[in-house]
Chains A and B, each alone.
Chain A
Amino acid sequence: NAGVTQTPKFQVLKTGQSMTLQCAQDMNHEYMSWYRQDPGMGLRLIHYSVGAGITDQGEVPNGYNVSRSTTEDFPLRLLSAAPSQTSVYFCASSYSKGQGNTIYFGEGSWLTVV
């Protein structure tokens, strides 16, 4: 059981470059989300999705784009990378409402923007 799989694990980008962080889950969860974690801080929600074709913004959505064409996949796009986007990114999925709110996280993607 793979759970939540994110790629790549490490990436270095130059300022202004774009890239996509991939995320896939095999638990048939309706909810998927992207968080970022900066040093000494908690997890901040970037974007989330309540099902295929539906996405919404979290706390820190600027500079990121998402889409949800299938239940399994939820890629995160950095449109024009900035040093402030250097962070660890976690993709997550969870059951729909009413079945418990436990979130299952991927192992993280370490992104450095130089």
Chain B
Amino acid sequence: DQQVKQNSPSLSVQEGRISILNCDYTNSMFDYFLWYKKYPAEGPTFLISISSIKDKNEDGRFTVFLNKSAKHLSLHIVPSQPGDSAVYFCAASARTNAGKSTFGDGTTLTVKP
């Protein structure tokens, strides 16, 4: 039973447009959510996070939205740039167990010039 799901394996958008990546979770114990970005042959790097006490967090071009009732979060990238092309992983954890994050399968974003 996969507790964190990213249902879209890939997404392609034009440069300058909005990219929306989605993530669903099933475990009600999760109260902290993160997005990681991964380039080929590199380790994932932290992008943005949100705790369950908030429904939105912004950092520059990146915004994460959390809908707790639907157990759904999304990452918005505006405007999208070719350098944003990467695999994006959604992850969830409980604050009481920081080292045990559960990851989705990732969405490959391609931003076309």
Give me the interface of A with B, judged by CB distance under 8 Å. Answer: 4, 30-33, 35, 40-45, 48-50, 58, 90, 92, 94-108
Contact = CB atoms under 8 A, between A and B. Distances in A.
Interface string B86-113: 0001010101111111111110000000
A108 B42 contact: yes
Nearest to A106: B43
Contacts, number: 77
A7 to B, nearest CB: 13
B99 A107 contact: no
B46 A40 contact: no
A41 B105 CA distance: 5
Interface of B: 4, 6, 9, 32, 34, 36, 41-46, 49, 89, 91, 93, 95-106
Nearest to B100: A48
Nearest to A94: B98
B100 A42 contact: no
Contacts of B32: 100-101
B104 A101 contact: no
Given A98-B95, A101-B49, A101-B98, A42 B42 contact: no
Contacts of B103: 35, 42-44
Contact of A48 (B91, B99, B104): B99
A90 B44 contact: yes
Identify which of A35, A41, A103 gathers the most chain B CB atoms within 10 Å of its CB.
A103
A78 to B, nearest CB: 20
